[in-house]
Structure 1
Amino acid sequence: MRYKFTLLVAFFLLLNGCMTQAPIKTVSEVNLKSFMGPWFVIGHIPTFIEKNAFNAIESYELNEDGTIGTTFTFNEGSLTGPIKTYHPKGFVVKGSGNALWGMQFIWPIKAQYKIVYLDQDYQNTIIARDDRDYVWIMSRQKKIDQDTLKNLVKKIEDDGYDINKIRWIEHSN
């Protein structure tokens, strides 16, 4: 009996060590037409391609086939550095209220793209991932007022991110 109890405790300790954080909740519904257009990246926990990004803008276009044409542009290394442009394609996950996408930079891999915050006027948004490795705060404007920004950072922290890893992006005037 003692042996079974020890095995049971060891199993639950092992299982607990293998558990990851709960998935981050998306917004309930996204009107894709309202979401389309340019978004200024205000702050992020960057991927390797955007670690030195300035003037970062992510633009979306709804394609006839329902996919999302994406153009990500930024200056590399400084406000006047060389312009880099990427064109990943977004694939909306059916049944997600348009809030969960797969973002494909290279076929066949689709990275998780979760719209976890979106204000009612479609002016500010947060894109996150369950792995809590990358996050993006984006706005229709180059700057966000401090109270709004504080609330967005709090949301990211509440979702389990290390907010000390956020990199703030400069934009030219």
Structure 2
Amino acid sequence: MRHLRQLLLCLPLLLLAACTSVPEGITPVSHFQLDRYLGKWYEIARLDHSFERGLSDVSAQYRLQADGSVEVVNRGYSAEKGAWKEAVGKALMTGDATQGSLKVSFFGPFYGGYHIAALDEQEYRWSLVVGPSRDYLWILSRERHLPPEIREQLLAKAKQLGFDIGQLIWVGQDRPDA
């Protein structure tokens, strides 16, 4: 009975840890440089989730903080509300700092995995980001639009990694930043 009680006490911690893990069969990029990844990224495509549902013109701004964490400001336009929606979070590197794997929190102590599965390692112009499962996928770019050949390359990589690319939402990037 004592062991069962200990297991039940540890279960929430195990579930939280699972939320930051890398999906099986996916390896985050190596030779990652956080300082080069900082700045603004535009969301080109994503798998649908309630926290972004209905948003266009989505972007993320990453800023290094004095304590070594990264401030994350996600922003998108809600046509339904006729207004911009913004969420501010915090990201931390996980494991080796040269591996493209972070954990991000927008809700206090609860973190989700943010794993860079593909990256333009020369210029840091685009990235393919996955969450803790194959239900989370984002294609990001420093520009509002990706060249067709890069878009196809990232779709092929996502498909190879086991994502249902037919479910991707292509995010409109037509509004000026406000």
Matched, 1:85 2:86: yes
Pairwise CA RMSD:
1.6
Deviation at 1:64, TM superposition (A): 1.5
**What runs of 5+ residues in structure 2 fail to find an aligned partner?**
1-22
Q: Deviations over 1:61-88 (max 9, x none)?
A: 011111110110110136x931000001
Deviation at 1:47, TM superposition (A): 2.3
Q: Deviations over 1:24-61 (max 9, x none)?
A: 11100221111100000000013211121111111100
Deviation at 1:125, TM superposition (A): 0.4
Q: Percent identity?
A: 24
Query: Which residue of structure 2 lines up, in the alignment, with residue 170 of structure 1?
Result: 172
Contact 2:115–2:129 (CA<8 Å) still a contact in 1? yes
Query: Which residue of structure 2 lines up, in the alignment, with residue 4 of structure 1?
Result: none
Q: 1:129 to 1:23 in 2, by over 3 A?
A: farther
Contact 1:24–1:129 (CA<8 Å) still a contact in 2? no
Cα separation, 1, equivalents of 2:25 and 2:132: 5
Query: Which residue of structure 2 lines up, in the alignment, with residue 34 of structure 1?
Result: 36
Question: TM-score, length-normalised on structure 2?
Answer: 0.80
Cα separation, 1, equivalents of 2:87 and 2:50: 13
Q: Deviations over 1:109-164 (max 9, x none)?
A: 10011011110210000110241011110001001111110010111111110011
Structure 1 residue ranges, 4+ long, deviating more than 6 angstroms after superposition:
none
Query: Which residue of structure 2 lines up, in the alignment, with residue 62 of structure 1?
Result: 64
Q: Which of 1 and 2 has greater Rg? A: 1
Matched, 1:45 2:47: yes
Cα separation, 2, equivalents of 1:97 and 1:32: 8
Cα separation, 2, equivalents of 1:55 and 1:102: 23
SS in structure 2 opposite 1:97? Answer: coil
Query: Which residue of structure 1 lines up, in the alignment, with residue 7 of structure 2?
Result: none
Which amino acid is 1:46 matched to?
D
**What runs of 5+ residues in structure 1 fail to find an aligned partner?**
1-20
Query: Which residue of structure 2 lines up, in the alignment, with residue 25 of structure 1?
Result: 27
Contact 1:23–1:130 (CA<8 Å) still a contact in 2? no
Cα separation, 2, equivalents of 1:37 and 1:139: 11
Question: TM-score, length-normalised on structure 1?
Answer: 0.83
Matched, 1:100 2:105: no
Deviation at 1:94, TM superposition (A): 2.7
Question: How many correspondences in the alignment?
Answer: 152
Q: Give the alignment partner of residue 77 of structure 2, picking from 75, 78, 96.
A: 75
Cα separation, 1, equivalents of 2:118 and 2:170: 18
